[in-house]
Amino acid sequence: MEDVKIEAGQIQHPECFPLPNELVCIQVPKVFDQVAIRDCVSRTVTLLPGSGIVNPVFTFEQIDNFDILEMKVISKTDSVAKPGFKKLKLFVKVGYTIHYSDGVNELTQNDEAGFNLTINEIYCPGCFAQIGVIFYPDECGKTGDVDKTIIKVEAICEAFNDMINPTTGVLTFDIGCFFVVKCECIVQLLIPAFGYCPVPPEQPNCITQNCTTFCDKTKTPFPTSFFPDQKWNPLD
């Protein structure tokens, strides 16, 4: 078989790839189960004019920069009929930026919306292994439980049904979000692999007056030893 350039990306012809050349033990957050859910909330916000504007004429432009600001597990109830399954009640706070005009100035105003989500059933087993790793700061959109279970929330949000009073600046709109709630645990997995990821090609840089020898790619080629040597499998 001819040599195949193996790099990250979608596989269109998997039959052209060789067999994996190693078995790798990795420690990763494994997704045990996930649930898709949608929710929508209505908001009313009073927009503020710029400094010195006496008779503003407000116009709404757009809402963007959605971000999960806070996520809490309000309650977690074990299923009586299904071991490992749970019912979750979550609170998710989503922040965003409102873009508008007061007739003179282009302005922005931050706002946030809260969502109360109920997950009727999700497989979320206890993860009791203690891992001595400190994460700082805490990752947004993720919360760890006492049994080392990780509840993760991902969201895609959009604003619509916007109406604005041009005189008072009172803006009403709806925020609709698609959520994916995941239950994860840190586990070790044994997976087949093709080795380390290849070092990416070096991008061209502007010619500088300094370090001429170092910048000469023929004299100092880009190193490929970014990863340590792999341990050999004794079965070989």
In this structure, is residue 17 part of a structural domain?
A: no
Structural domain harbouring 33: 25-191
Q: Examine the pLDDT at 23 and tell me if it is beyond 60.
A: yes
> pLDDT tens for residues 85-120?
999 999 999 999 999 999 999 999 999 999 999 999
In this structure, is residue 201 part of a structural domain?
A: no
Q: Examine the pLDDT at 134 and tell me if it is beyond 60.
A: no
Contact 88, 116 (CB under 8 A): no
Task: List strands edge to edge, sheet with 170-193.
Answer: 22-46, 170-193, 150-164, 142-144
In this structure, is residue 230 part of a structural domain?
A: no
Count of domains for the chain = 1
Angle at 192 between CA 30 and CA 15, to 5 degrees: 115
Query: Which tokens go with 54?
Result: 């006496």
Q: What is the mean pLDDT of residues 1-30?
A: 78
Q: Which amino acid is at 188?
A: Q
81 contacts: CB under 8 Å, gap ≥ 6: none
In this structure, is residue 167 part of a structural domain?
A: yes
**Residue 135: predicted pLDDT:** 43
In this structure, is residue 126 part of a structural domain?
A: yes
Give the rounded distance of the alpha carbon of 83 from its chain centre.
29
How many C-beta neighbours within 10 Å does residue 68 have? 19
In this structure, is residue 16 part of a structural domain?
A: no
In this structure, is residue 181 part of a structural domain?
A: yes
User: What is the rounded distance in angstroms from the CA atom of residue 185 to the CA atom of residue 126?
Assistant: 8
Confidence band, pLDDT 50/70/90 cuts, at residue 125: confident
> pLDDT tens for residues 139-171?
555 555 555 688 999 999 999 999 999 999 999
Report the range of poorest mean pLDDT among 91-105, 156-170, 179-193, 200-214: 200-214
Contact 174, 72 (CB under 8 A): no
In Å, how far are 7, 76, 177, 190, 196 from 25, measured between CA atoms?
Answer: 20, 32, 36, 4, 13
**Residue 182: predicted pLDDT:** 94
In this structure, is residue 7 part of a structural domain?
A: no
**Residue 41: predicted pLDDT:** 96
What secondary structure letter does DSSP report for 9? S
